[in-house]
Amino acid sequence: MMEIIWRIDDSASWYAKHGYREWTVLEVKFGVWPVLPGHQAGIVWTVDGWQTIQWTAALWLHNAPNPYGGHDEIWKAAMNAGLAPAPVHFWYALYVEDGHGGRRWDNNRGWNYQHVV
């Protein structure tokens, strides 16, 4: 069965001391359908225009009813840019792996998701 993955929302936080940003975090919540055992999900991201990349595993939050009478898996992943000058430009794509290692992507139809913090 083919999994469907989509971004639900993202939210940012940061901590600054003496006018200098100590860390910047972007959290992303996303959904996966259908609910199946063995899923692993995560995010691939960058803050330097894809010169370097980071892979972050997502945390399963819960299963939620969907409008079609079934359920969706809800996941969350956090990207921590660490010590970075503001503003921080995040680019990211979401993935889910099935129990056999097959991977499906949501990369915003080839444009990748972007968020400036």
Closest Cα partner for 12 from 76, 74, 78?
78
**Domain parsing of the chain, residue ranges:** 4-111
Taking all residues of the chain, what is their mean pLDDT, rounded to a whole number?
91
Report the pLDDT value the prediction gives residue 18, as an integer from 0 to 100.
Answer: 73
Tell me the pLDDT band of 91, cut-offs 50, 70 and 90.
Answer: very high
pLDDT at 1 over 90: no
Instruction: Please tell us whether the domain made up of 4-111 is placed in CATH 2.60.40.10.
Output: yes
Report the pLDDT value the prediction gives residue 52, as an integer from 0 to 100.
Answer: 96
Give the chain as a 3 state SS string: CCCEEEEEEEEEEEEEECCEEEEEEEEEEEEEECCCCCCEEEEEEECCCCCCCEEEECEEEEEEECCCCCEEEEEEEEEECCCCCCCCEEEEEEEEECCCCCEEEECCCCCCEEEEC
Per-residue model confidence as pLDDT tens digits over 2-59: 778 889 999 989 888 777 778 899 999 999 999 988 899 999 999 999 999 999 999 9
